[in-house]
Structure 1
Amino acid sequence: MKPLTALQHLDLSYWDNFIDDGLAHLRPLVALQHLDLANCYELTDAGLAHLTPLVALTHLKLIWCHKLTDAGLAHLRSLVALKHLNLSSCRNLTDAGLAHLIPLTALQHLNLRDCRKLTDTGLASFKASILIQ
């Protein structure tokens, strides 16, 4: 079967048993623009490493992926076309992780709702960093 290399939208949300290795199969989808991984509870930082080739990605939903940490955000640095990133309820993200998002200069919408380890100080520092660019 030929890979779906022209695929632009993929919704894998609410797939409870989706694990990191499953994302390795997305690597050939270089035209992918929208990826929804919301409520993929088993997804970890290692899984996000498989997203680095998806440089056409403009929309990424990682809502309630509660195993993700700051280290996982480092894998998103290569997604320079990213315009919309939803990290709401990713409760292990801290202020330090926001630094990994600074290179995403195309980012227009960032949802950090209910990321309980983020502080006002960290958000202010992130805001100042992106305004300097």
Structure 2
Amino acid sequence: MPRDIAPPPSDEFEVIFSRPFDGPPTHTVEVIGEINRSASIKVSQYNGHHKSSEKTGDVPKDDVQELMSLITTLRGFPSHDTKDVYGFDVKLDFNTMEIQWSNKDDDPAAGDISEIAGEQKDDFKRIADSVEALGRTFAKKDSQI
């Protein structure tokens, strides 16, 4: 089911990785940019409801294109608004003009979510790990909180 978030203008995208799946985040990675250009990345660590540290950086164009090719495979993957169906305690949101997807969406068409295919779980984990790795690799500059 599409979310009620307005899509960004044409080629812009936003990817947000957050841990844990439910409750206040302890760790987030946000990648924002345009599909055929470099993108901005921000990694935040939280202590309770307050940010304890934040680092920023830029993701090169080639890595952005690779991320987009991975992320677009999530189209049609099942999601559930209250259950972590992939089992990795990670929430992943993806927003472009064409796709608005989150593994925390209410998706009545998902059917029996207790039986997510192993391949979909592996793909989801690979994509979530890739977003987190981009944060470790490119978000190096300290940012004011």
TM (norm. structure 1) is: 0.24
Query: Which gives a bigger RCO, structure 1 or 2 (Cα 8 Å, sep 6+)?
Result: 2
Please state which structure has a larger fraction of its residues in helix: 1
Please state which structure has a larger fraction of its residues in strand: 2
Query: Higher Cα Rg: structure 1 or 2?
Result: 2
TM (norm. structure 2) is: 0.23
